[in-house]
A and B are shown apart, each in its own frame.
Chain A
Amino acid sequence: MTENLNVFAVRTLTQKEYFAPGHRACQGCAEALAVRLVAKALGRNVIIANATGCMEIVSSPFPFTSWRVPWFHVAFENTAAVASGIESALKVLMRKGRIPHKKIVTLAMAGDGGTADIGLQALSGALERGHDFIYICTDNEAYMNTGIQRSSSTPFGASTTTSPAGKVQMGQITWKKNMPAIAAAHNIPYVATACPSYPIDLVQKVKKAADIEGPAYVHILSVCPTGWRSAPELSIKLGRLAVETGVFPLYEVERGQYRLNMDFPKLKPIKDYVKLQGRFRHLTESMIDEIEKRVHQEYEQLKEKAKKGV
C-alpha cells in the first residue's frame, strides 16, 4: 500500500504497539520513536536481529524486554550476518516442511556505528548475497551508547567526545559517510532515507521494504537530545529541520531510480538547524557557510539523479 498520503492521517496506522513502554531510552529519544514506528510498520510477523547499541541496551535489560516480537541480540558488528542466518533458516525450514509456510520478515537493525563502521563488512556481504531482508540503520550520528564518541556518520563540525571542539581541531573533521549511496552501490532493489518526524513516510517506506524481494536498506535519522545537546522536546522539530535544510533529504532509490520524496522551493538556512544543538555551538560563520555550500551542492546532485531517474 503506497498511497501518497498528503494529510497527516496518523490514525491510518495501527494502534498496536510491538515495542512496549518501560524502555530505558532517554527523554525525547527519537531513535526509540523510530524503532516504535518500524515495529508498527512490520507488525507481528517479523524476526529482528539487533546490534549492540542504544536501542539494544534500553530494550533488553534481563529479565525485562520491550519486544513483543521475536528479537535477537548477538554482537556489535555482525547484525547483517545474523539476519542472513535467520533468513536462510526460515527459507530452508519452510522448504523442508519443518515449519509452516508463512511470510515472516527478517529485519536487521543497527545504529550508525554498527552499520557504517564496525558493521560495514557484514552489511556489504549480506547485500551482495542478496538475502531477502530489511536492514535499518537508526543513525544518531555518533557512538551514543558508549558515551557520544564520533562515528563515520558524525556530521562535519559536530563535537563528540572523540572529536571535541578544541583549540586546534574544531569537532569532526571529515564529512558524514554516505551510507545510502554505499547501499545503493550494491545494486539492491530498494534504498530509502526516513525520519520519525515524518511518521507516515517512514512507515510507508518500511512496509515497502518488507514487500520487496531481496535486500532493502532504510536509513533513519534519529535525533539524540543527549548526544546532540538539544532540548528533548525539540527532537521532532530538529528531525524536520534536518530535512528542510537539505542536511538529511528524504529520498528513495528503487532499482537504481532515484526519487526525492520531499522537495522544497528554498532550503532553510543551516543556521536554523545548528543553533538548536550544543554539539554545533562552536561553529564559526565560515564553517557554517562551508557546510551550507556542501549541503546545497549534494542536494542539487541528488535532484539531478532524481530528474534523470538514475
Chain B
Amino acid sequence: MGKRVGMEVSIAAAEAVKQANVDVISAYPITPQTHIVEHLSELVANGEFDAEFFCVESEHSALSVCVGAAATGARTFTCTSSQGLALMSEITYIASGLRLPILMIISNRTLSAPLSIWNDHSDAMSIRDCGWIQFFVENGQEVYDHVFVGYRLGEDRNVLFPVIINMDGFILSHVIEPFELIEQEKIDQFLPPYQPVHRLHPDRPVTMGAFALPSIFTETKKAQEEAIRSSIPKILETWKAFGDMTGRYYHPIETYKAEDADTLLVTMGSCGETASVAVDKMREEGKSVGLVKIRLWRPFPFEAFKEATLHSKQLVVIDRAISVGACGPVAAELKAALYGEAQRPSVYNFVAGISGRDVTPSDFIKMVDKAEIEIEKGNKEGYEIYGVRG
C-alpha cells in the first residue's frame, strides 16, 4: 500500500513525471496547465529531478522538441491545453505517423473564440484524428496512474504510439484530491528504461521522416491504422499489470449500475463521477438508469462499448464539445459504432458543460427526464445544447 496524501492534481501529475524518470520535458505555459509545468521547473531547479527541462517559445516547438528527443531515444513529456494544442496540432499527426512514444497531458480547456480558460473537451475533439492513443480520466488518481500506464504502453515495441491523457482543466487540474502514491521501486519495475526500436545515432544511421509518394502512402496509413487497432490487447494487458501492482484496475469502458438499465448516461472525463451521484438518486426513485463512462477514446473500443450498451433502450450521451454545424462529436461516433447492430439503443445527445459551466447531479436528472419526454414524442435521436438561456 503506497503513501496516501492530499495534493493538487497538477502537482501529482508533475510528481508522476518525475517518478517515471522522464528524460526531456519541453512545454509552454497555458492556463490551466501551468501548475504542472511550474512544479516540474521547481523539481529540476532543486536538483530533485534529473531531466532536461525547458520552457520553449511556443507549443508547436514544445512538441517538436519532444519529437526530436524521442527520436533520439529519450523518454519525453509535454502538456498543454486549448489554443496550445491547436497550435501544436500539426505536429501531433506527425508524431503518430513517425510512431514516437511521447506522453502528453492535456488539461482540457475550450477553444477560442470567444477566449475562455475554462473546461470542456473541444480541444481534445479537435485532434481526434491525429493518431495518438487517447485516454479520458475522471479524477486525480487516474491522472497520476496513467502517466506510468502511458509510458509503458507507448514505449512497448509492439505499440510505439504517442499517448494523451485528457484531464478536465480546473475541475481536476487545480483541485486537491487524495492520492495513493506508488513506491519508486515498484514504478522502476513496472516501467523499465525506454529502448527504442530505431533511434538517431551515428552508430546506426537511419533516415526518419522521408516523404511518401501516392504509390506508397496508402500502405503507410494501413500500417499505422492496423498498429493502433491491434494495440488494444496491449492496452488491456498494461492495465492489468498496473492493477496487479496497485489494486486499481482500469477498463476501456467503465460502467456503473448499467447491466440491467434501460437508459444509460454516457460520459467522458470527470463529469462521470457527478453522473454516478445522479444515477444513484434516480435509482432510488425506481428509474432504470445506469452510467457508461468512456475511458479509452482512441483506439475506440468498439467491442467493449457494444457489450456495455446493446442491452439498453436508449443512451443519453453527454458531449462537452460541438462539431459546429453538425453534431456532438462523441454522440456521432457512438451512433456510428452502433449503426450496424440489428438491435440497438437510440442515442439522445446533449451538449453540456461547455467552457466550465457546471453540470450538477440534478442537471443529469433533468437531462434524462427531458430525453424521456422527447423520445416519447417520437424524437428518439434528438440533439440539443443543455441549459442555454433564451
Name A's B-contacting residues (CB within 8 A).
44-47, 49, 56-57, 60-65, 67-75, 77-78, 80-86, 88-93, 95-96, 98-99, 102, 104, 121-122, 124-125, 128-129
Contact = CB atoms under 8 A, between A and B. Distances in A.
Interface of B: 23-24, 26, 50-52, 54, 56-58, 60-62, 64-74, 76, 90-91, 94, 98, 193, 200-202, 204-213, 216, 220
A68 B90 CA distance: 28
A247 B193 CA distance: 53
A125 B59 CA distance: 12
B66 A85 contact: yes
Nearest to B93: A75
B191 to A, nearest CB: 14
Given A75-B64, A78-B60, A99-B73, A88 B207 contact: no
Contacts of A91: 52
25 contacts: A62-B210, A72-B200, A72-B208, A73-B208, A73-B211, A74-B94, A75-B64, A78-B61, A81-B60, A81-B62, A85-B67, A85-B70, A85-B72, A85-B76, A86-B68, A88-B24, A92-B23, A92-B50, A92-B74, A93-B73, A122-B60, A122-B64, A125-B56, A125-B58, A129-B56
Contacts of B72: 47, 85-86, 89-90, 93
B41 to A, nearest CB: 14
A92 B51 contact: yes
A60 B67 contact: no
A32 to B, nearest CB: 16
B45 to A, nearest CB: 16
Contacts of A122: 57-58, 60-61, 64
A262 B47 CA distance: 49
A204 B278 CA distance: 73
Contacts of B60: 77-78, 81, 122
A81 B56 contact: yes
Contacts of A98: 73, 193
B94 A75 contact: yes
Contacts of B65: 81-82, 84-85, 88
Contacts of A60: 207, 209-211
B91 A96 contact: no
Given A62-B212, A74-B209, A46 B64 contact: no
A61 B76 CA distance: 28
A25 to B, nearest CB: 15
Given A74-B67, A88-B24, A99-B73, A129 B54 contact: yes
